Structure 1
Amino acid sequence: MQFRRAIVLLVMTLVVPGSAQIAAGNRNVGRVAVRIWASLLGVTLLGLLVAYLSRSTFLSLVLDQRVLFLGRWIVTAAAIGWVVLLLDAWRLGMPLRLPQRRRLIVTAVNGVLCFAVAGSLLFAANVLAAQNHLIGTVFASEEVADASDGRYNVLLLGGDSGEGREGMRPDSINVASVDAESGRTVIVSLPRNLQRVPFPEGTVMHEQFPDGFVSDDEDEGYYLNGVSTWANDHADLFGDTADPGLLATTQAVEAITGLKISYHASINMQGFAQLIDAVGGVTLDVKQRTPKSGITEKTKGWIEVGEQKLNGDEALWYARSRKADNDFARMGRQKCVMNAMLAQLSPQKVLLNVQDIAKSSAALLSTDIPASELDVFADLALKARSFPVSTVSIVPPAVNTVDPDFPVVRQMVDDAINASEGADEPPSAFETATAVLPQPERSEEEAAADPTLANDTADLAETC
């Protein structure tokens, strides 16, 4: 009878903290504990109701730093209080009066319950703390941008600030154009070697390069990813601008695509490798044997054909290598890696690796999206999962990267967005790149100037 009573008191405390004290101990303590437990349970149920009735309101709450900070300490206090009540329930069960074997059983049960309760609640507190730190570190901007023509256009830059480089030169340049209501998304991919790019009138870059980003004698067109370097090297022309390279690149992308950029997000590829390691690697179906080296570097190894589970370093080489092919094939591989990450990042992996993910994300991402807008983008991201993502790639043969027809480029972007808004199944990247417009004929001189024109689009389509 005494043994059963001791076990029941522990179970009562697990189910309703404070109930054991009301039944067999200090009733005042028990009543306070039950009221606190009931209040927290009520808040949890209210949160679930809000999530059911208004997802946007729920997201604004769970992504609010004040709520995260308060929630962390409430959960920590609840863990401590619950463990204290379990220890007191063990005392109320009078285990010293039990035979040794049963005394050990009661003590073991109490220990397991204390560990389970404290472990789960402290883990939850750690998740809240990591989320709060990530938001405060990465989403520190306070300037809010409105949607342009009903769409948020986010400039996505991928670069490497690793050894041997000054700053972060953008080698991967994309625009995610997201419908502000439905979340339908179009990804516009711009090759880093796009030449003669224009700039909006009235900007510093347009004053310096009124005929596009070309040399003084106009014999040579500079690459799109060189805009950032040039602007940073001539920062004095931009006055008090904090990041001339980012500003100039944003303006160039706006002139190329015809889209007004709302925000930017810069991805450091070294942080990307850390993120992949944090979630235990990524599995890819490698179509072509890929060297682990830059163009002029000695090959350090190979990523073999077939299904491969890659660690962060291997995935980074797979996404950035172009020694054996070209920029357009690399663009395709980068999309493969991102798609695989999206497909394989399960909630379980995120929860089990939240601390490492938060740490790597801080190294991975810098953005001017403010924390106050996170709920908007989180809601749009959830909506976007209901629709296929359309992509338009500014690559040959639809576009000659040496001497692009930018009105054609802007028409390609407009057509992709219109198709996305008006159809349940937007065109794929390959369909958009090759079929939106009639393919231009190329002269022998143009082919010699850009020898990758023949097969680049096929390389991009067949990467995954």
Structure 2
Amino acid sequence: MPQEKPDLRNLREPVRFKRALTLVLMTLVLPGSAQIVAGSKRTGRWAWRVLAGLIGIVLFLVVLALIWRAGTINLLARPGTLRVIQVLLILLAIGWAVLFFDAYRLGQPLTMERKHRLTMSILDGTLVLLVVGALIYGSVLVNTQRDFVASVFGSGAKSKAEKGRYNVLLLGGDSGADRVGTRPDSITLASIDADTGRTVLIGLPRNLAKVPFPEGTAMAKQFPDGFRWKNCTINCLLNGVYTYASEHKSLFPGDPHPGATATKQAVEAVTGLKVNYYVLIDLAGFRDLLNAVGGITLDIGKRVPIGGGTSPIKGYIEPGRNVHLDGYHALWFARSRAESSDYERMTRQKCVMSAMLNQLSPKTVLTKFQGIASASKEVVSTDIPAGELGTFTDLALDAKKLPVSSFSAVPPLIHTGDPDFALIKTKAAEAVAKSEALDKAGSGGDGKTSNTPSSKTSTSTTKKPSTSKPTSSPTTSANNVDDVASICKA
């Protein structure tokens, strides 16, 4: 039975006011404590049980995250788990609001002077708005995350790491009213160490000809001599594989993404590396995603035209140190091909990827999450299953601490019209081996230092930046293996 409300009229006014104020503040600090002291002890005990249960769950997740970070993220990222969290936050908001109103009632405001009664009403109302508002906003963020995961990530089969590495194909799709279908103008294979997150970016030119396909695949049967002009009629280059497969879905029965599947197969055959998953980023919507994260900052060594090709040049992105690019300018920096070659463009795209990896902080994700999630739903498509989200988030956090290296299959090493695919495989394997050697040696960066880089790894290097003008080729080394940080410091 609830306790009988005590009569406070015999207490002096300052005492009554302080008592009422204390009850409300006790509810803010420890929900249910006001009821234990002056109201229904049963209600207070139930509030404490709920609070203890929530604290226990949080502590369990913290300990689990310390032991198994990827598994914890996978658990929390599940749409079902997110729905439960969303409902719990709403119920917690309602319950806490009820406790605040009850604490206000227990203070018997009608027995106080008008100014004290007004003060208590304003304080209690403000605390209800702050606490409940924060919890409801949290539930909105959780719902946004649930919608994002359900919209972007699939429920397909999990792909195991091959020789301790995940290889994720990053495609920059350029679709629009003036384009026939989607053609990936940016093709990069990110080879990620499954233990350390150390990443190698393997860039493949979009105009790579005669690309083969793995034996036994539908595309290999269709093009036994490779994807070449005598077998097809339009754009028989690497970036045309996506369009061809999308227009010949009968070759991929039951596959919802034949273009991505065929491109993955081609990249596997070209590099000799198993492709676990793909991520397709629509460059037309990339601007919104970059704006959502606040843009990126780069050191730019050469002016880059805005426009060109079929449209006039509208201006330039000028060279300089710590140049901040919003979504519009970052997109042009990544995709501009006027006054440069495709190979220089490939390097700029890798610089943008590296910048986003290193500059996208947890604080940015938290404070701008709704904008990021909203833009990502329109920009990103992938076959990474939702159950692997934690694995790759965990690897991304590790990758932020390490430099990103790369290999580009471009001239003069590779003749794109008549590629030496055996050489591409050899050089890709060498780039991966060089990256793995750094982990085995316990090196924190370029193999010359053991210092662990900060979250802005690419902003520092033991090498002095070159003062020479960039050439049309993105690399200067004999084997076309380069350190992205030495080209564009992100």
- Paired amino acid for 1:248: A
The structure 2 residue matched to 1:58, chosen from 72, 76, 79, is 72
**Is the 1:14–1:113 contact (alpha carbons within 8 Å) kept by the matching residues of 2?**
yes
Query: What residue number does 2:197 align with?
Result: 183
Task: Answer yes or no: is 1:161 the counterpart of 2:167.
Answer: no
- Paired amino acid for 1:396: P
Local SS of the residue matching 1:299:
strand
The structure 1 residue matched to 2:422, chosen from 401, 407, 414, is 407
Local SS of the residue matching 1:271:
helix
The percentage of aligned residue pairs carrying the same residue is 47
Counterparts of 2:65 and 2:220, CA distance in 1? 48
Q: For residues 283 and 385 of structure 1, do their structure 2 counterparts lie closer, same or farther at Cα, with a shift above 3 Å needed?
A: closer
- Runs of 4 or more above 6 Å deviation: none
Counterparts of 1:83 and 1:456, CA distance in 2? 60
Q: For residues 112 and 344 of structure 1, do their structure 2 counterparts lie closer, same or farther at Cα, with a shift above 3 Å needed?
A: farther
- Paired amino acid for 2:77: L
Local SS of the residue matching 2:56:
helix
Give 1:183 deviation, angstroms.
2.7
Local SS of the residue matching 1:73:
helix
Give 1:396 deviation, angstroms.
2.0
**Is the 1:153–1:261 contact (alpha carbons within 8 Å) kept by the matching residues of 2?**
yes
Counterparts of 1:44 and 1:244, CA distance in 2? 42
Alignment of 1:9-20 (within 5 A): 9-20=23-34
Query: What residue number does 2:211 align with?
Result: 197
Task: Answer yes or no: is 1:87 the counterpart of 2:101.
Answer: yes
Task: Answer yes or no: is 1:301 the counterpart of 2:301.
Answer: no
TM-score by length of 2: 0.83
Greater mean alpha carbon deviation, residues 120-129 or residues 51-60: 51-60
Counterparts of 1:392 and 1:455, CA distance in 2? 12
Give 1:417 deviation, angstroms.
1.2
Counterparts of 1:280 and 1:49, CA distance in 2? 33
**Is the 2:344–2:472 contact (alpha carbons within 8 Å) kept by the matching residues of 1?**
no
Query: What residue number does 2:83 align with?
Result: 69
Query: What residue number does 1:286 align with?
Result: 300
Query: What residue number does 1:119 align with?
Result: 133
Alignment of 1:271-420 (within 5 A): 271-306=285-320, 307-420=322-435
Query: What residue number does 2:12 align with?
Result: none
Counterparts of 2:360 and 2:251, CA distance in 1? 44
Greater mean alpha carbon deviation, residues 314-323 or residues 56-65: 56-65
Give 1:90 deviation, angstroms.
1.6
**Is the 1:6–1:106 contact (alpha carbons within 8 Å) kept by the matching residues of 2?**
yes
Query: What residue number does 2:260 align with?
Result: 246
Q: For residues 70 and 344 of structure 1, do their structure 2 counterparts lie closer, same or farther at Cα, with a shift above 3 Å needed?
A: same
Q: For residues 92 and 279 of structure 1, do their structure 2 counterparts lie closer, same or farther at Cα, with a shift above 3 Å needed?
A: same
**Is the 2:357–2:396 contact (alpha carbons within 8 Å) kept by the matching residues of 1?**
no
Query: What residue number does 2:186 align with?
Result: 172
Query: What residue number does 1:457 align with?
Result: 475
Greater mean alpha carbon deviation, residues 367-376 or residues 12-21: 367-376
- The number of residues matched between the two structures is 440
Counterparts of 1:197 and 1:45, CA distance in 2? 52
Instruction: Point out where structure 1 has 5 or more consecutive residues left out of the alignment.
Output: 429-451
Greater mean alpha carbon deviation, residues 49-58 or residues 348-357: 49-58
Query: What residue number does 1:421 align with?
Result: 436
Counterparts of 2:208 and 2:180, CA distance in 1? 22
- Paired amino acid for 1:122: I
Query: What residue number does 2:157 align with?
Result: 143
Local SS of the residue matching 1:154:
strand
Q: For residues 243 and 221 of structure 1, do their structure 2 counterparts lie closer, same or farther at Cα, with a shift above 3 Å needed?
A: closer
Local SS of the residue matching 1:400:
coil
Greater mean alpha carbon deviation, residues 295-304 or residues 452-461: 452-461
**Is the 1:397–1:453 contact (alpha carbons within 8 Å) kept by the matching residues of 2?**
no
Query: What residue number does 2:116 align with?
Result: 102
**Is the 2:357–2:400 contact (alpha carbons within 8 Å) kept by the matching residues of 1?**
no
Query: What residue number does 2:20 align with?
Result: 6
Query: What residue number does 1:446 align with?
Result: none
**Is the 2:343–2:472 contact (alpha carbons within 8 Å) kept by the matching residues of 1?**
no
**Per-residue Cα deviation, 1:221-273 (whole angstroms, up to 9, x for no partner):** 94211222233344444455433322221121111100111111111113321
Greater mean alpha carbon deviation, residues 287-296 or residues 321-330: 287-296
Greater mean alpha carbon deviation, residues 375-384 or residues 359-368: 375-384
Q: For residues 249 and 282 of structure 1, do their structure 2 counterparts lie closer, same or farther at Cα, with a shift above 3 Å needed?
A: same
Counterparts of 2:249 and 2:425, CA distance in 1? 29
Query: What residue number does 2:283 align with?
Result: 269
Query: What residue number does 1:33 align with?
Result: 47
Local SS of the residue matching 1:242:
coil
Query: What residue number does 1:49 align with?
Result: 63
Give 1:362 deviation, angstroms.
1.0
**Is the 1:134–1:362 contact (alpha carbons within 8 Å) kept by the matching residues of 2?**
yes
Counterparts of 1:145 and 1:342, CA distance in 2? 23
Local SS of the residue matching 1:152:
strand
TM-score by length of 1: 0.87
- How well do the aligned residues superpose, as a CA RMSD in angstroms? 2.6
Greater mean alpha carbon deviation, residues 452-461 or residues 56-65: 452-461
Give 1:404 deviation, angstroms.
1.7
- Paired amino acid for 2:311: E
Counterparts of 1:64 and 1:236, CA distance in 2? 33
Greater mean alpha carbon deviation, residues 235-244 or residues 324-333: 235-244
- Paired amino acid for 2:90: T
**Per-residue Cα deviation, 1:308-364 (whole angstroms, up to 9, x for no partner):** 433322221221111121211211221222222233322222222221211111112
Query: What residue number does 2:467 align with?
Result: none
Q: For residues 128 and 57 of structure 1, do their structure 2 counterparts lie closer, same or farther at Cα, with a shift above 3 Å needed?
A: same
Give 1:19 deviation, angstroms.
1.1
**Is the 1:291–1:324 contact (alpha carbons within 8 Å) kept by the matching residues of 2?**
yes
**Is the 2:100–2:128 contact (alpha carbons within 8 Å) kept by the matching residues of 1?**
yes
Give 1:294 deviation, angstroms.
4.4
Local SS of the residue matching 1:292:
strand
Counterparts of 1:221 and 1:234, CA distance in 2? 15
Local SS of the residue matching 1:298:
strand
